[in-house]
Amino acid sequence: MSRFHRIVTHGILIIVCILMLTPIYWVLKTSVTGDNLFVYPPSIIPDDPNLFFYVEAWYTVDFVRLFFNSFAIATLVVIANLFLNAMAGYALTKQFPAKGLVLTFLLMSMMIPFHATIIPAYLLTADLGLLNSKLGIALPTLSHIVCILLFKSNFEAVPNSLIQAARIDGLSEWRILTRIMMPLSKPAVATNIILSFIWSWNDFLWPLIVVRSQEQQTLPLGLVSFLASFEDTTGSLYAFCVLVVVPSMLVFLLAQKDFIRGLTSGATKG
């Protein structure tokens, strides 16, 4: 690639980056200034920034309770996803009758939007007596088919000779999974953790339907009730938005290297 092409490419990339980061910058700026969004001309540099809106957001809603509800549910979802998806993914690397049918069924399930299954999911959760509980909120997200297939493709990349050697050494299938397959599939594990954490953390619709008391509310529900109750608190609202987003961004930034490797590793298999 010539020098000119490199400059043009990087110029376009920088413009795209600026366009994508502008809304995030705007949220951060508003959270420290409280400026009205519709002020004209808009100011790019924050004028007299302060963190008071974070203090106000922290005390206006019961942030600690909302945070721990979200955190407890996300932790439950992450652990369940690792456990269930790894087992399912490992099983799908084996040959068994109607394996193709099972895979087809899983792929078909992915094509049904969650909104179409809300009523049966709600009735099922109600029958289990899990409405308005953390387990009930976590239930539909305890396993994701995308993550099962991700584990499957990563496990298939592990040389079969390694598994045979482990089997000859007397390891059970469970120990092969936990001692050999999982440590060799760290990118898949990281991808599972990130995806399940972010999906659970940002989930709004299902908790909105299942949760009936303030004690079980998660951060996205708190954000909506904050927005519905106090329309004029621009600074506090945006500060609250930042507080909601920071944990998932932190998890992503910490594990992004493995995350990207996990998503691409299946593509180079074989």
Partner 1 sequence: MNWRAILINRFTITFGAIVLAVLLWNIYVGFNDDGRLTGQVVDENGDPVRGAQVMLARKTVTSVDTVAETTTGDTGNFSFQNHGQFALVLSVNSDAGSISRQVIPLWFRNQNVDLAEPLVVSP
Contact positions vs partner 1 (CB under 8 A): 50-52, 55-56, 59-60, 229-230, 232-233, 236, 250, 254
Least Cα distance to 140 among 165, 168, 119, 167 occurs for 119
Under 8 Å between Cβ of 56 and 235 = yes
Q: How far is the CB of 18 from partner 1 (least distance, A)?
A: 27
Instruction: Please list, in sequence order, all residues whose beta carbon lies within 8 angstroms of the beta carbon of residue 134, skipping any fewer than 6 positions away.
Output: 69, 72, 73, 76, 216
Q: Which one, 167 or 257, has the nearer CB to partner 1?
A: 257
Spell out the residues 6+ positions from residue 242 whose beta carbon is closer than 8 angstroms to its own. 27, 28, 31, 54
Q: Cβ of residue 233: shortest distance to partner 1, in angstroms?
A: 5
Name the residue nearer to partner 1 (CB basis): 7 or 254. 254
CB of 254 to partner 1, least distance (A): 6
Q: Is 239 in contact with 53 (CB distance < 8 Å)?
A: yes
Residue number with CB closer to partner 1 (140 or 235): 235
CA-closest candidate to residue 203, choices 115, 128, 91? 115
Nearer to partner 1, 229 or 264 (CB): 229
Distance CA 185, CA 90 (A): 11
Which C-beta is closer to partner 1: that of 218 or that of 236?
A: 236
CA dist 99 and 93 (Å) reads 9
The answer to whether 70 touches 240, Cβ cutoff 8 Å, is no
- Give the shortest CB-52-to-partner 1 separation in angstroms: 4
- Nearest to partner 1 of 133, 214 (CB atom): 214
CB of 66 to partner 1, least distance (A): 17
Nearer to partner 1 by Cβ, of 151 and 226: the residue is 226
CB of 81 to partner 1, least distance (A): 18
Distance in Å, CB of 120 to partner 1, minimum: 38
Nearest Cα residue to 185 out of 224, 135, 151: 151
Q: What string of DSSP letters covers 20-52?
A: HHHHHHHHHHHHHH---TT-SSPPSSPSS--SH
